């Protein structure tokens, strides 16, 4: 049975009772899908107890982004957490996480440059801050995140390492619908034929992954052709080093990643694959 906790004091009281048991944490913004649940199930395989957080973090949304309309379903989410083996869920209110007078934020420097860091100024400051607070509060042995948000994963790995938080950050493969679309809470925004057009994100990435090509420009051209044919407005298409996220000119002999963000109608979606 999942127990809902609302305050840091309740979390601390609960974690005190773990008596050395191995704890896995899965931070989320809720409106859970099978991608989130795969992280929880993996956590249950690797640890004695799994906790999840459900918090739509206001500090990672820009002034013109979708904070107000971001989908929420706490009751349904808690039921899903229970089905995936989560023992307790932390679901605080915004003024609990950021009380009056709050003034401390976490900035991760190099790996936040470019990609979503350029398209969404301040986004990773909010992500890094809330994840640092969660890791400091729960003190888990491991925390699990999906590779769909690949830049976010690298940001969290960096802050955990640099701040010596003594937690293992585990990235798990992107979970996809049967047709290849990466599972995302924002998929619920897609209307009518937009859902079919959105498949071009993965089709383009898959084509680049399958191509016998090392030139980053040629790989990006393959992806862009798919976006253009599906009338997806490009935000970015990049070929980067898989760890540093620095742009690459050629992937020969490199561990590389292709990342894409685009607008299907008014819905912004992201995806990525290893090269």
Residue 50 β-bridge partners:
24
Mean pLDDT of 81-86: 97
Q: Which residue has the higher pLDDT, 20 or 140?
A: 140
Is residue 15 very low, low, confident or very high in pLDDT (cuts 50, 70, 90)? very high
Mean pLDDT of 71-89: 96
**Rounded to the nearest 5°, which phi and psi values hold at 234?**
-70, 135
Mean pLDDT of 137-151: 98
Mean pLDDT of 206-220: 97
Is residue 175 very low, low, confident or very high in pLDDT (cuts 50, 70, 90)? very high
Asked if the model's pLDDT at residue 77 lies above 60, the reply is yes
DSSP letter for each residue of 85-136? T--EEE---HHHHS-TT--------GGGSSTHHHHSTTHHHHHHHHHHHHHH
Q: Which two tokens stand for residue 19?
A: 């008596």
| pTM tops 0.85 | yes
- Identify whether 36 is a catalytic site residue: yes
CA 206 → CA 151, 181, 216, 230, 273, distances in Å? 19, 11, 15, 15, 8
Q: Which two tokens stand for residue 131?
A: 């994840």
pLDDT value of position 64: 86
Enclosing H/E stretch for 10? helix 8-16
Helices (H), 30-73: 34-46
Residue 176 and residue 58 in contact, taking contact as beta carbons nearer than 8 Å? no
Mean pLDDT of 140-148: 98
Catalytic residue among 19, 36, 141, 226: 36
Is residue 1 very low, low, confident or very high in pLDDT (cuts 50, 70, 90)? low
Domains, in order of start, for the chain: 3-172 (3.40.50.620), 185-274 (3.30.1300.10)
pLDDT value of position 20: 87
pLDDT in tens, 237-262: 999 999 999 999 999 999 999 999 99
- In the DSSP assignment, the letter for residue 250 is B
């Amino acid at each position: 049975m999942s127990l809902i906790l609302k305050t840091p004091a309740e979390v601390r009281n609960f974690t005190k009772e773990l008596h050395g048991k191995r704890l896995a944490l899965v931070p989320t913004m809720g409106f859970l899908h099978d991608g989130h649940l795969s992280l929880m199930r993996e956590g249950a395989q690797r640890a004695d107890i799994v906790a999840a957080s459900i918090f739509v973090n206001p500090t990672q949304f820009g002034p013109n982004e979708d904070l107000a309309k971001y989908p929420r379903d706490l009751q349904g989410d808690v039921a899903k957490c229970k089905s995936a083996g989560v023992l307790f869920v932390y679901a605080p209110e915004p003024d609990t996480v950021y009380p009056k007078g709050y003034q401390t934020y976490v900035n991760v420097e190099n790996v936040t440059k470019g990609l979503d860091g350029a398209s969404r100024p301040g986004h990773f400051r909010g992500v890094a801050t809330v994840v640092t607070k969660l890791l400091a509060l729960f003190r888990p042995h491991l925390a699990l995140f999906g590779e769909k948000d690949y830049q976010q994963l690298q940001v969290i790995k960096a802050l955990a390492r640099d701040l010596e938080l003594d937690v293992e950050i585990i990235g798990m493969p992107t979970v996809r619908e049967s047709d290849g679309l990466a599972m995302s809470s924002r998929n619920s925004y897609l209307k009518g034929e937009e859902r079919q057009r959105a498949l071009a994100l993965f089709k383009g990435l898959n084509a680049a992954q399958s191509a016998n090509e090392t030139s980053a420009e040629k790989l990006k051209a393959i992806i862009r052709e798919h976006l253009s044919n599906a009338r997806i407005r490009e935000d970015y298409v990049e070929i980067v080093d898989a760890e540093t996220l620095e742009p690459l000119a050629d992937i020969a002999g490199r561990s590389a990643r292709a990342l894409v963000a685009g607008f299907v109608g008014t819905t912004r979606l992201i995806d990525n694959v290893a090269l």
